[in-house]
Structure 1
Amino acid sequence: MDQKRVVVTGIGAITPLGNTLEEYWNGLVNGVSGAAPITLFDASKFKTKFACEIKNFNPEEHGLDKKEARKLDRFAQLAIVASDQAMADAGLNRNNINPDRTGVILGSGIGGLITFQNEVMEFAKGDGTPRFSPFFIPKMILDIAPGQVSMRHNLRGPNYATVSACASSTHAIINALDVLRMDKADIVLTGGSEAVISEAGVGGFNSMKALSERNDDPQTASRPYDKDRDGFVIGEAGGILVLETLESALNRGAKIYCEIAGGGATADAYHITAPHPEGLGAENVMRQALKDANMNVEEIGYINTHGTSTPLGDMAEIKAILNVFGEHAYKLNISSTKSMTGHCLGAAGVIEAIACIMSIRHNIVPPTINHFTDDEDLDPKLNMTFNKAQERPVNAALSNTFGFGGHNAAIIVKKYVA
């Protein structure tokens, strides 16, 4: 039996560059930095005082009433808002779907860290008497985001969460792809969200020396592949894709953004935080994604790299790309949109997949901004799309995401051809 084809029919995005898909894409194309001083808490005593926050986000302005919003951690609020956007974009509602054939699979690396932090800090202020909110656990657990989305839209198909640190939402997309291929659903809302810009989140990553401390110039702090990069900029985001079998999309006359061609998942089996120095896991996952998509390297026009702006990670991935793509690597456009969004952790994969989808749709590759000084370890013949977006035909794009624990995930999206 032929494998079912899977397409994207709806997109929702709330990111540090804007609270809609259009705002996000315009920010990417124009090379806008989402970094700014932290406003979500008092960071004056922290080593890093800036982040890529979502701006002007009020859940009540996005269809959540005040009472409802209070029962949700910020990461779940972002997932719900993005799901509302994606459903509307796909032309879906409670009245025109089969709820038993529509699922929700979302990823988050950490989940409700803000809720966990606040509840424990409040307890610590007291006399030891346990006074916890009855919503503490339901707000904190990361599987609550797909649960809440399913209840909001009455979606009774496969419903669960994936967690693999920064690869979480890419793994969610791959799982959704497989569920649709196996005919266990007709439609799946997938992607993920993350919101951990808090004392615990920033303090924890600071203690690992993972974050940039360029407090004098936050907007240029995320500088993947630049010689003077000094760590990533923490971000937050929510992104949802409506994945649908081609048959379902055609039957209802849906708009089709692109086709999900394939995906891969591997492990470094090397270190809890550092990537394999030769990019072994990254190399294997790209080869696996190409095999799953039944595509050769020459068909790929753009790679959205994991590119976090860390000295070790950036170069290990480039080694892997050169090993996989050979001479074709020099014909590719490569960029890291984390230079603009910061690193949105578990939500990074989906918002970078969206960047790839829009690149295919508009034949524009978003840039790697904040490049000032060449890194002598970077092959100068590679087109890293530094500082300015480039127009070119993009028929297929590959997106890489890697997470602490050695988790690697990659997906390939391509232009839809009837």
Structure 2
Amino acid sequence: MSLVLAGRPLAITSCGVVSPAGLGLEVLARALRHGLDSYAEPEDSPDGYPPRPLWAIPDLEVARLLGRKGLRHVDRFTRLGLVASTLALEGVIAKLDAEAQARTGVVLATNTGSLTSMVEVGIDTLVQDKPYLVNPGNFPNVVTNACAGQIAMRVSLRSVNSVVSSGQVASLAAIRFARTTIEQGRASRLLVGGVEELSPAAAWGWHLSGALVEGAPVGEGCALFLVEDAEALRSSGRTALAELLACEVSYQGLGSAGEQGEGLLHCVERALEQSEVSPGEVDVVCLSATNHRDLDHQEEWAVGEALGRTAPQVRVGHVLGELYSASGAMQVAALLAMWREPARQSRPRVGLVTSMGEDGNVGCLVVREWR
């Protein structure tokens, strides 16, 4: 089954990015050009991780950005989302009256929520004395939509609040969901993106699965974008960072990597057709299967076949590590970071964001610079 993001494009009016490069687009742009300055170890139990590079966020600056109130029982996963949402809404939230807040929501890509919190609560149920003395303050963190709920409650966003879980393609599926939500009039604007935390459980999962090439790093991060209808934004005379055109996501089943490559090829072709963008107009491709043992070459093949050439490529995974749920959102952020530098051409730049997962999901998003 294939889902098409048709109709009016979405405009990205602001964004918040938290990555191993630091906070914001400027440091991300620098990391994409020159690599990370340093690799920080995770805050919790670094000795519990597998022998693989771990690229953690160096400093969340929680106290400066969020204050200390209400964070006592909030886990690291949710703090990533709260910091990113604060950056995305900086200078915006004060302009939203009660009616606007009621029309603003959150769509978050995450496949499990916080694995760290789940493991901690699970262990407590096994090792603590009956009747299972689990810390009640930790229990809300195991719910998949805990982060999305905390974001909405902190800034009083009362419209749609949803979590999308579809493996590596989750962020693109979340963007597709956001488009549908706004088209149906269920929200006027949405915070949409993905979040992934570095944890021993996730790192060991990647390490033992054999899905990643030897020495490939595992990272963490969150990228959130405030989006609304692009045509309505233009009519109001306001500006934006970029617009999200067509998005295609589909499930190819657990067949061979070649079958998934074929599926991605069709996704790219349909997305370009929906966007009314010719293959020759694509300036850069942002790939997601970087470091994946069986999918990397298939993703590159599918894009080359669709475009009829080898376009300039951005491999976020080489710089920030494997980000799973957040990979698609961070790929979009990478394009925005690169486009901070003035274009050498008169027309708006066009980027292609592709995604392939070990679970058979594939996806493609067309992003165009705002002019």
Per the normalisation by structure 2, the TM-score is 0.88
Task: Kindly provide the CA deviation profile for residues 142-170 of structure 1, in whole angstroms up to 9, marking residues without a partner as x.
Answer: 21222222212222222211011222122
- What is the DSSP-based 3-state SS (H/G/I as helix, E as strand, rest coil) of the residue aligned with 2:195? strand
Give 1:401 deviation, angstroms: 2.0
Tell whether 2:368 aligns with 1:414.
yes
The aligned residue for residue 322 of structure 1 is 304
Compute the displacement of 1:38 (Å): 4.6
1:398 matched to 2:352: yes
Q: CA deviation at 1:252?
A: 5.8
Distance 1:33 1:316, change over 3 A: farther
- Farther-moved stretch of structure 1 (256-265 vs 35-44): 35-44
Counterparts of 1:352 and 1:248, CA distance in 2: 26
How high is the TM-score relative to the length of structure 1?
0.79
Q: Is the 8 A contact 1:33 1:340 kept in 2?
A: no
Letter matched to residue 205 of structure 1 = W
Distance 1:104 1:148 in 2: 10
Of residues 333, 341, 358, the one that matches 2:312 is 333
Task: List per-residue Cα deviations over 1:183-208 (Å, max 9, x = no partner).
Answer: 3322111002111x223222222221
CA contact under 8 A between 2:103 and 2:188: conserved in structure 1?
A: yes
% identical equivalent positions: 21
Shift in alpha-carbon separation, 1:124–1:191, aligned structure 2, 3 A = same
* Corresponding residue of 1:386: none
List gaps (5 residues or longer) in structure 1.
212-228, 365-390
What is the one-letter code of the residue matched to 2:178? A
Number of positions where the alignment pairs a residue of Structure 1 with one of Structure 2: 365
SS at match of 2:186: coil
What amino acid sits opposite 1:246 in the alignment? A
Q: Distance in 2 between matches of 1:207 and 1:88?
A: 40
Deviation at 1:336, TM superposition (A): 0.5
- Listed as ranges, the matches of 1:8-23 within 5 Å are 8-23=12-27
CA contact (8 A) 2:124 2:132 kept: no
1:194 correspondence with 2:173: no
- 1:392 and 1:234 map into 2 onto residues whose CA distance is 36
Question: Please, which of 334, 337, 358 is the counterpart of residue 355 of structure 1?
Answer: 334
Change in Cα spacing, 1:411 to 1:363, as seen in structure 2 (3 Å) is farther
CA 1:24–1:360 in structure 2 vs 1: closer, same or farther (change >3 Å)? Answer: closer
2 CA distance for matches of 1:97 and 1:162? 26
Asked if 1:175 corresponds to 2:159, the answer is no
Please state if 1:63 is matched with 2:81. Answer: no
Q: Which consecutive residues of structure 2, in runs of 5 or more, have no partner in the other structure? A: 1-5
The AA in structure 2 aligned to 1:290 is L
Deviations 1:47-91 (Å, cap 9, x if unpaired)?
A: 42531101122422321425x223223221111111111111556
Aligned equivalents of 1:356, 1:119: Cα separation in 2: 38
Structure 1 counterpart SS, 2:354: strand
Deviates more, 1:186-195 or 1:282-291: 282-291
Pairing partner for 1:149 from 133, 148, 151: 151
Q: Deviations over 1:100-129 (max 9, x none)?
A: 321211111221111011122233333454
8 Å contact from structure 1 (residues 36, 50) kept in 2? no
**Cα 1:286–1:34 shift into 2, 3 Å:** farther
Alpha carbons of 1:184 and 1:210: their partners in 2 closer, same or farther (altered >3 Å)?
same
Give the equivalent residue in structure 2 for 1:205: 206
Equivalent AA in structure 1 for residue 143 of structure 2:
I
Is the Cα contact below 8 Å between 1:283 and 1:320 reproduced in 2? Answer: yes
CA offset at residue 406 of structure 1? 1.1
Contact 1:103 1:155 in 2 (8 A): yes
TM-align CA RMSD: 2.6
1:362 deviates by: 2.4
C-alpha contact (below 8 Å) 1:188/1:243 kept by paired residues: yes
Q: Which residue of 1 aligns with 2:54?
A: 51
Report the residue type matching 1:115 in the other structure. S
Quote the residue 2:220 is aligned against: 236
Kindly provide the amino acid, as one letter, of the partner of residue 128 in structure 2.
Answer: G
The more displaced of 119-128 and 15-24 is 119-128
